[in-house]
Amino acid sequence: MTDENENEMLKELYNGSVQTIKNVVPIEQDFQSPKLSTKPLNVEYGVLIGFSGTYKGELVIQAEHDIFRAIGEALYGMQLSDDMLDSFSGELGNMIAGGISTHLANQEIHTDITHPTIISGNAQLTGFKRVLEVHIDYQNIGDMKMSLLLNH
């Protein structure tokens, strides 16, 4: 992949991510500037979804349990029990990854997504070349971090 193609892919991944989160999460949000890093990613709680096809990598959405719980309540109008939190977190990851995949398909970048994997505990993710990180501030709730792990 040429640098120009890679930059276009990064742009579309970022734009698709922001647009999808705005469409999916019904809470006022403020997106910080994206940052590229090569450092390992530390995750305490979150969801990971893999991408294959033209874009190969993973999406990791991480936040404290209460952030996922508040988003679930905003989406469904009811509090999530502890038993439902992992299921909802995985579904939120599916909705966001699916939206990103649809955005990419509209740009003629073809991808498939894997089922969600919940990460709970102190995990350190490595094995990727770079990570595009975006911090999202939700009014009166807290912060979430979305990371796109880039394998090319």
Domain containing residue 11: 3-150
At 148 the pLDDT is 93
What is the structure's pLDDT at 44? Answer: 96
| pLDDT score for 9 | 80
Work out the number of other CB atoms within 10 angstroms of the CB of residue 109.
18
List the CATH number of the domain containing 104: 3.40.1550.10
Q: For position 4, what pLDDT does the model report?
A: 72
If phi > 0 it is left, if psi is from -120 to 50 it is alpha, else beta; for residue 121 that is left
What is residue 3's predicted lDDT score, i.e. its pLDDT? 64
Q: Which residues pair with 58 in a beta bridge?
A: 50, 149
As a whole number of angstroms, the distance between CA 136 and CA 147 comes to 11
Domain count, the chain: 1
Whole-number pLDDT of residue 48: 96
- Taking the chain (152 residues) in runs of 10, the rounded mean pLDDT of each run is 72 90 94 94 96 90 96 92 93 95 91 94 93 93 94 76
